[in-house]
Amino acid sequence: MSRRGRGRSASLWPPTTDELVDGLGDRDPSVRAASARECGARAVEQTVPLLSERLLDPDRRVRGAAAGALGRIGGSRSAEALIRALRSGRLGAGRLARELARSAPDFFLEAALTRPENRQIRAALALTAGLRGRSSAVADQLLALLEGDPAERAAACHALGALRYTPAVPFLMDALFDSNPPVRHAAGVALTRLGAREPTRRSKSEVVREGPPARSHLLDHLRIWRRKT
């Protein structure tokens, strides 16, 4: 970014915080996106409210840059903004989940999963907990989601597997007989990650083939879940 009114050589100078704030409201979406990225790179916490607004920007590039900036800045205000964006559906759930996993403070996701206003995004929050992968403290909420709707049950299976939460094995075994095929598949993937043997007959090629990395599989599931909602 260049400082306004100082000629071409001004691009050698980094923008001030005030210029970044101005840039977030610029009419040019390229300037807004660049300003958002710079706010994230510098972790300018005072721009969190403006970045939250940019999550609803009409330009997808700006929305993505704002999400990335909030993920880098972190903290509860950034995480709350990302959750609101998840509820709005204006940005891909996979991208928002990655940034939320990066930005959320300890125990934030556990509380978010219990809030009534997040009912429609509990599956995405469960997958976010799996992406975060730092603690099994959220396991009780994930186990409770095994009694939820099909999307929540599948997400909980994936997250429990990603967290390597071995006490969940008996519940995952039960989920192998769920009436919903994606839930059964998610339970099988989770049990494989946990090193548990599935009580179902599998072909030799399935036994030999190594499962996908936990983080990659969670993101794939998020993309599928978003298309269905």
Q: Would you state the torsion angle of the CA atoms of residues 167, 181, 220, 113, taken in this order, to the nearest 10 degrees?
A: -50
Q: Residue type at 182? A: P
Residue 205 is predicted with a pLDDT of 47
**For 146-169, what is the mean pLDDT?**
95
Q: Which two tokens stand for residue 102?
A: 């990066």
**For 7-32, what is the mean pLDDT?**
81
| Residue 12 clears pLDDT 90, i.e. is over it | no
**For 45-64, what is the mean pLDDT?**
96
Q: What percent of the chain has pLDDT over 70?
A: 79
Residue 2 is predicted with a pLDDT of 46
**Residues, the chain, total?**
229
- Mean of per-residue pLDDT scores for the chain: 85
* Cα atoms in the Cβ-side hemisphere of radius 13 Å centred on 224: 15
State the Cα–Cα distance between residues 104 and 189, nearest whole angstrom.
26
Confidence bin at 114 (pLDDT 50/70/90): very high
Residue 76 is predicted with a pLDDT of 96
Residue 198 is predicted with a pLDDT of 58
> Residue 47, Cα to own-chain centre: how many angstroms?
21
Residue 228 is predicted with a pLDDT of 54
Q: Are 48 and 70 in contact (CB under 8 A)?
A: yes
| Residue 113 clears pLDDT 70, i.e. is over it | yes
**For 153-162, what is the mean pLDDT?**
96
| Residue 130 clears pLDDT 50, i.e. is over it | yes
Confidence bin at 208 (pLDDT 50/70/90): very low
Residue 135 is predicted with a pLDDT of 65
pTM score, whole prediction: 0.77
Residue 173 is predicted with a pLDDT of 96
State the Cα–Cα distance between residues 72 and 69, nearest whole angstrom.
5
State the Cα–Cα distance between residues 104 and 215, nearest whole angstrom.
17
Closest CA to 50 of 28, 17, 83: 17
State the Cα–Cα distance between residues 218 and 98, nearest whole angstrom.
10
Residue 229 is predicted with a pLDDT of 53
Residue 89 is predicted with a pLDDT of 86
- Mapping DSSP onto H, E and C, the string for the chain reads CCCCCCCHHHHHCCCCHHHHHHHHCCCCHHHHHHHHHHHHHHCCHHHHHHHHHHCCCCCHHHHHHHHHHHHHHCCHHHHHHHHHHHHHCCCCHHHHHHHHHHHCCCCHHHHHHHCHHHHHHHHHHHHHHHHHCCCCCCHHHHHHHCCCCHHHHHHHHHHHHHCCCHHHHHHHHHHCCCCCHHHHHHHHHHHHHCCCCCCCCCCHHHHHCCCCCHHHHHHHHHHHHHHHC
